[in-house]
Amino acid sequence: MKKLKRLLFTFVLLAILVLVAVLAYNAIKFSSKQVKIDPAPDLPLNENITSRLTQAIQIPTISYDTHIDTAAFVAFNQYLDSLFPVITTQLDTHTINGFSRIYKWHGQNTTLKPILLMAHIDVVPVEADTREAWTTDPFSGKIIDGHIYGRGAIDDKLSLVGMLEAIELLVAEEYFPNRTVYLAFGHDEEVGGTNGAVAIVEYFKNQNIQFEYILDEGSLVTEGNMPGLDRPLGLIGIAEKGMVTLTLTARTDGGHSSMPPAQTAIGALSKAIATLEANPMPATFAGPTQLMLDHAGPETDFLMKMVLANTWLFGGILKSELGKKNTGNAVIRTTTAVTMIDGGIKDNVLPKHATAKVNFRIHPKNTIEDVVNYVKKTVNDDRITIEIDPTPQNPSKISDHKSFGFQVIQRTLQETFTDVVVAPSLVVAATDSRHFRDVADNTYRFMPIQLNNEELKGIHGTNERISVENYKQAIRFYYRLIKNSCQ
C-alpha cells in the first residue's frame, strides 16, 4: 500500500512538473511581434497651431436624432475654407448633400491606389443637466492647464482639423504625394451617417474608386488597461462590432390593480430583462481580440505572459476576469444593454403591455440572426414578442493586419509615440467607416492620441478635452502617415 502511495505521489509530482514545464515553454515561445522602428525626426509646431481647432470647437455642429442646425454646418465649412486657404487652392473640394466634404490631393503616380483619411464634422449634444459640471462652456474651445476643452476636442474635430493642419504643412514644404490622398468628412456620423458617409460612398462607387486602405476614428493609445503591461498600448482597430436594437414587448390581460395576476406585463418584461442580463452571450477570444492578445501578450511580465500563452488552460479564468470590467467585457462578447423601458398608464390600472429596448453590440463571431435566436431561446416566454428595430448592422469584416495599410499605420504610430506596443484590436463603437466596405478591402480605425482612463470619460461625456501636446502628436502622426503612404 505504501509503495502504491509513493508511486501515485511520484506520478502526480511528475505531472505537475511536466505541466509547469509546458506552461513555461509556451510562455518563452510566446515571442514578440513588435517591429523595431526608429523615432521620426522632430516636427516643430508652434503654440498657435491650436487656434484653428479651438475655433472649430466653437461652432456647435450638433447632430440631433431628428435634425441638425444647418446654419452651424454652413458656418463650419465656410470656416474651413477661410482658415485653410492653401488646401482650398491646392486640393479639389466636393460637397455632398450640402454639408459633407471630400478633398482630393492628386498623386503623381496614378497607377497606385489612393488612400482615404476620414473624420466627421458633427458632435453629440451636451445634456442640459450636465452643463454645470463642465469646467468651462462645452463650446468654448478654451485652453485650461494645457488642455483644449469642448465638444469635438476628441470626437472628432481633433482628427479633422489635425489632418488639414498636416496637409497645410506638407504643401508649404512643396511636398507632392506620389499616391493620391482623399479626405472625407461626414456631417451626421453621430446619428448613423445616412446623409453623409453613405452618400460619400455612393460618390466613390460612381467614380469607380477603390482605396489601398481607409483610416477612420476608432481605437487609440491607452495607458494601464492591460495587466502586466507597463508600456502604452497602441490599438489599431481592424474591425468594429455590429449593432441591433430589439424591442421586447410583454402582453397580458389588463384590468384593475386590486385583482392582479401573479405577474403583470411589467413583471413579465422585467423577468425577461433580468434573464438576458444574467445570461449574456458566450465570450470568445476569436478574431481581433485574439490578435490583440497575441501582439500585446509577449510584452507583458512573465506571469501574465504565461497566462496569455496558455489560454487552453487559463482561458476560462481570463474570460471571467475580463468580463468583470465593462471595457474588457465589450471585446470578448456580444454585449447586452437595456436602454429604454415603457409600461403602464396609471397606478391602479394593470398595463396590457410593456416594452423595452435592448441594444446589442455584435461581436464579429456573431450575426444579427444569432442575436435574435439567442434572445428568443434565453427569454423563452410566449408572452414576449421580439421585433428588430430599423437599420441593424452586422459586424464589419476583419481587415488584414499584415497589409500595407496596417504596416504603414503601425510604422507611423511607432515613429510618433514613445515606447508604444502596437496591436490589432476590435472597436466596440460604431464609426462611419462601416459604410465603406464596397470601396476598400482594408479599413482601419485609429485616433493618434494617448489618453488615460480619466480623459477617456470625456468622449460623449463631461469635460471632453485633449492636451495641447496630444493634439500636436496627432498632427505629427498625420504628417508622417501621408509621407509614409505616398513615397
Q: What is the pLDDT of residue 351?
A: 94
Is 454 catalytic? The answer is no
Q: How far apart are the C-alpha atoms of 356 and 382, rounded to whole Å?
A: 16
Q: 46-65 in b/e burial notation, b at 16+ Cβ within 10 A? A: eeebbebbbebbbbbbbbee
Q: Which residue has the cell 509646431?
A: 45
**What pLDDT does 353 receive?**
94
Can you give the three-state secondary structure of the chain, one letter per residue? Answer: CHHHHHHHHHHHHHHHHHHHHHHHHHHHHCCCCCCCCCCCCCCCCCHHHHHHHHHHHCCCCEECCCCECHHHHHHHHHHHHHHCHHHHHHCEEEEECCCEEEEEECCCCCCCCCEEEEEECCECCCCHHHHHHCCCCCCCCCEECCEEECCCCCCCHHHHHHHHHHHHHHHHCCCCCCCCEEEEEECCHHHCCCCCHHHHHHHHHHCCCCECEEEEEEEEEECCCCCCCCCCEEEEEEEECEEEEEEEEEECCCEECCCCCCCCHHHHHHHHHHHHHHCCCCCCCCCHHHHHHHHHHHHCCHHHHHHHCCHHHHHHHHHHHHHCCHHHHHHHCCEEEEEEEEECCCCCEECCEEEEEEEEEECCCCCHHHHHHHHHHHHCCCCEEEEECCCCECCCCCCCCCCHHHHHHHHHHHHHCCCCEEEEEEECCCCHHHHHCCCECCEEEEEEEEECHHHHCCCCCCCCEEEHHHHHHHHHHHHHHHHHHCC
Collect the ranges in the chain with pLDDT lower than 50: none
From CA 487, how far away is CA 175, in angstroms rounded?
11
Alpha-carbon distance values, 372 to 12, 209, 229, 344, 356 (Å): 47, 36, 38, 26, 15
- pLDDT value of position 227: 87
CA dist 124 and 22 (Å) reads 51
**Exposed, middle or buried, 14 (CB in 10 Å: 0-12/13-18/19+)?**
exposed
For residue 285, the model assigns a pLDDT of 94
For residue 113, the Cα-to-chain-centroid distance in whole angstroms is: 26
CB–CB of 442/398 below 8 Å? no
Selected catalytic residue, list 189, 190, 240, 299: 189
Please report how many Cα atoms fall inside a 13 Å half-sphere around the Cα of residue 372, on the Cβ side: 15
* Integer CA distances (angstroms), 201 to 73, 210, 211, 438, 440, in order: 20, 11, 11, 8, 10
pLDDT at 395: 97
Name the residue among 88, 60, 52 with its Cα closest to residue 165. Answer: 52
Provide the pairing of β-strand 353-362 with 335-343. Answer: antiparallel
CB 243 within 8 A of CB 393: yes
pLDDT on residue 12: 65
Q: Angle at the Cα of 152 (from 151 to 156), degrees rounded to 5?
A: 155
Please enumerate in sequence order all residues whose Cβ is within 8 A of that of 106, keeping only pairs 6 or more positions apart, or say none: 92, 177, 180
Q: What is the largest CA-CA distance in the chain?
A: 93
Cα distance between the two ends of the chain: 77
How many whole angstroms separate alpha carbon 16 and alpha carbon 33? 30
Q: Would you call 122 a catalytic residue per the annotation?
A: yes
The one catalytic residue in 122, 155, 168, 464 is 122
**Burial category of 89 from C-beta neighbours within 10 Å (exposed 0-12, middle 13-18, buried 19 and up):** exposed
Of 450, 395, 404, give the one whose Cα is nearest residue 426: 395
